[in-house]
Chains A and B, each alone.
Chain A
Amino acid sequence: MRRFKAFVVKEFYHIFRDTKTLIILFGMPIVQIMLFGYAITNEIKDAKIAILDKSKDHLTVRLSDKILSSGYFQLSEYLYSEAEIEEVFRKGEVKQVVIYDKQFAQKLERDHQAKVQILADATDPNTANTLIKYTSSIINSFQQELAFGNPTPLTIKPEIRMLYNPNLESVFLFVPGLISVILMLISAMMTSISIAREKEIGTMEVLLASPMQPAQVIISKVIPYLILAFSNAIVILLLGYLVFGVPIRGSLLLLLLESILFIVMALSMGILISTITNSQQTALLISLMGLMLPTILLSGFIFPVENMPMPLQLISHLIPAKWFILILKSIMLKGTGILFFWKETLILVGFTFAFTFLSVKKFKIRVA
C-alpha cells in the first residue's frame, strides 16, 4: 500500500511540476466553455435582419423602429414579397426575417390581435434561438406600451419558425459535448502520453526491473488523471450552470457516477494506446487523430448524428462519447433516470472491459 501511495504522489509531482501542461489542462475547460458559450451563443450585436412589411402602417413602423434601435439588430433590407425570403437566407448574411401581417394596425385595433412572423436561420441554432428570444421580448414590451391606458388587452402574436433546423437539437448540447471531449482528452491522451514518456526516458525499464507488478504501475499512474478529469468535469458543470444556466434536471449523483464510468473507460483507452506506442509523439498523434477528432466530429457534439450519412452513423456507434453525450443529455436536459439510459450505460461498461482486457493482454512485462 505504501508503494502505491508513493507512486501516486510521484505522479502528482510530475503533473504539478509541468506548469505548461497544467495550465492547459485547467485553463482549457474554462476557455472552451467561454468560447462555446459566449462566442457562439451570446455575442449578438447588429445581427442582420430583413423586414417584410405587408401592412406599412404607423404601428408596424413603430415596432420596426423599436426592433432596429435595440442595438441587437441591423436592417439589411426591406423585402417586398414572400419569394424574396428564401433568397436572402440563402445569401447567408441575414439571420432573421420579420414579417408583418396585412392590415396589422387595423387588426390590432379591431380584433385586439395581430400577427408577426419571425423566421430565423437555424443552421446556427444557438444564434437563432437568441435572436428569437430578443425579438420576442421586444415585441412583448411593445405590446405592453400599447396596452398602457388601454382597457382591452392587445395581443401581438409572434409566430416563430425556425428554418433549416427546426428542432434546435444542439442548443444546450455544448456542455455535455464539452464534458465528454475534455474528459476524453485528459483521461485518454494524458495517460497515454505519460506512460509513453516513462518508456521514452527509460524509467519504465527501471520499473519493470523492480518487483512491482505492471498492474500496480498502471493503476497508480491512472489515479491522478481520474481525479484531475473528475475535477475538470465539475468545473465545466459549474461554469455551465452559473454562467449559461445549463440546467441539471436529473440526479446529480447519477451524473457524477456516469462521468466516473466514462473517465475509467477513457483511461483504459489511454493505457491501450500506450501499450502500442513507445514515444510521446506517437501517443499524442494517435490520441489526437484517433480519439479527439472522431469524438468531436462523430459524437453528435457539433454535428447531429441523425444528419450524417449512413456509414458515418454506423461508425458513430463505436464512439464512446456518443453514448456518454446521450446519457448526459438525458440527465441534464430531460431529467430522466437510469431506466432511460441503462443501455447506453451498459455500452460504456462494455467498452471499458474491452479496452482493459486488450491492454492487459498487450502490456509487456519486458522491454522486448
Chain B
Amino acid sequence: MTNLAIKTENLTKRYGSLEALKGVDLEVPPGFLFGIIGPDGAGKTSLIRTLATLVLPDGGRASVLGHDVVAEYRSIRNKMGYMPGRFSLYQDLSVLENLQLFASIYDTTIEKNYHLIKDIYQQIEPFKHRRAGQLSGGMKQKLALSCALIHEPEILFLDEPTTGVDPVSRNEFWEMLEDLKKKGISILVSTPYMDEAKLCDMVALIQNGTILSVNTPAEIVDSYNTPLYAIKATNKYQLLKDLKSYSYAASVFPFGEYIHYTDQRGLNVVEELKKHLEANNHSGIEVVSIAPTVEDCFMALMDEQV
C-alpha cells in the first residue's frame, strides 16, 4: 500500500521552544510535482530536511519511497536528490569539477546519466570551466539541479530553488521541473512565492508549522467561496482607510495597485461599493468582481486559523 512517494503522520519538530512542525500529515503520490508554499519560518525547510533525512523528527512518522526517514535513512539517501535553500556547491571549483565530484560521490559518471541532465546542463555547458562562484543566480540553480540529478534519483527535494532568482530564470526552472516530472521523478519543491502554486500538480499551504490546506491549485482557488472585489481609486491610502471603516467590510487587503475586498453581505455589491466610495469623495474609482488568487486563499485560511 505504500506506493506513496512521501507519507507523514503527525510529524513534529521543535528547536528549543520553537515548534517548527506541529503535527504535519501529508501524502504525496509518486510522480507528482508537489509544492510546499508558505512564508519564511512557516516550517518549509524543517519539513524538507526531515524528509531528506537530514533532521530527526521529534514526533510522528515519515517515510519516503516506503523507507522510514529515521531507521532507513541510508536507503533514502541513495535514491534522493537534494538541493538546499542556499547555493551549496563548491564556489572555488568549476562547473565541470563540481559535476564530476558529485558524480563520483554517487559512484557514477556524467556520461552514464547524461540523458537526465542534458537539457539543463547544455544551458550552462558554455561556462563549464568557470568557477561556480562566478555564475549568475539562474546558472547556479541549473548547476545545483544538475548535481542533484546526476545519480538518477527517484525523488527530488528542492528547498526554495527560485528565491531571489530573476523571473526569467524562475520560469526556466519550472519548465525544467515539468520535464523531469515527465521522466517519472517525484518532486517536492518549496517556495515562498504564492504565484508559483499554479505550476504544481498539488500544493500544501503551510504556516506556523501547520498545513493549512493540501489540494490541487485549482481546487484551492475553488474552495474560496466568497465573492472577491478588486477596488482602485486615486488616493489609495484614503481608500484603504475608508474601506476598513466600512461597516459591511469583511476583509480589506492591499493587493498591488488594487485593494482586495470581501463583503459581509455575500451578494454582488459592485454598485453599492461604487456609490459608497463616491459618497466619500473618491475619484478614479474602479470596482471589479475578480477570481481569487492562491494568495487570497492563503490569507483567508490564515484568518480562519486564528
Contact = CB atoms under 8 A, between A and B. Distances in A.
Direct contact of A and B (CB under 8 A): yes
Interface of A: 2-3, 5-7, 10, 13-14, 17-18, 201-203, 205-212, 365-368
B92 A206 contact: no
Nearest to B56: A366
Contact of B105 (A7, A13, A201, A205): A7
A205 B49 CA distance: 10
Interface stretch (B75-83, B122-130, B260-268): B75-83
Given A206-B84, A206-B89, 14 more contacts: A6-B100, A6-B105, A10-B90, A10-B97, A201-B91, A203-B90, A205-B84, A206-B147, A209-B52, A210-B105, A211-B74, A211-B77, A367-B49, A368-B49
A314 to B, nearest CB: 39
Contact of B54 (A7, A209, A212): A209
10 contacts: A3-B104, A201-B88, A205-B82, A209-B54, A209-B80, A210-B102, A210-B105, A212-B105, A366-B53, A368-B54
A191 B73 CA distance: 27
B104 A208 contact: no
Contacts of A5: 104
Given A2-B107, A3-B107, A210-B106, A14 B55 contact: no
B134 to A, nearest CB: 12
A98 B93 CA distance: 65
Interface in B211-262: none
A208 B84 CA distance: 11
Nearest to B82: A209
A13 B92 contact: yes
Contact of A203 (B88, B100, B107): B88
B37 to A, nearest CB: 22
Contacts of A208: 54
Given A209-B80, A211-B77, A366-B55, A10 B88 contact: no
Nearest to B52: A209
A63 B49 CA distance: 84
A202 B147 CA distance: 14
B90 A205 contact: no
Interface in B62-114: 73-74, 77-78, 80, 82, 84, 86-93, 97, 100-102, 104-107
Contacts of A365: 73
Contacts of B147: 206
Interface residues of B, number: 31
Contacts of B91: 201
B84 A202 contact: yes
A368 B15 contact: yes
Nearest to B131: A17
Contact of A2 (B55, B84, B88, B104): B104
Contacts of B107: 2-3
Nearest to A10: B101
A365 B55 CA distance: 9
A205 B88 contact: yes
Given A10-B93, A202-B86, A209-B82, A367 B101 contact: no
Residue among A2, A13, A211 having the largest count of chain B Cβ atoms under 10 Å: A211
A6 B55 CA distance: 27
A206 B104 contact: no
Contacts of B105: 3, 6-7, 207, 210, 212
Nearest to B106: A210
B80 A18 contact: no
B106 A367 contact: no
Given A203-B90, A205-B88, A206-B89, A211 B78 contact: yes
Nearest to A367: B54
A5 B82 CA distance: 23
A367 B55 contact: yes
Residue among A3, A14, A205 having the largest count of chain B Cβ atoms under 10 Å: A205
Contacts of B74: 211
A206 B77 contact: no
A152 to B, nearest CB: 77
B77 A203 contact: no
Contacts of B90: 10, 14, 203
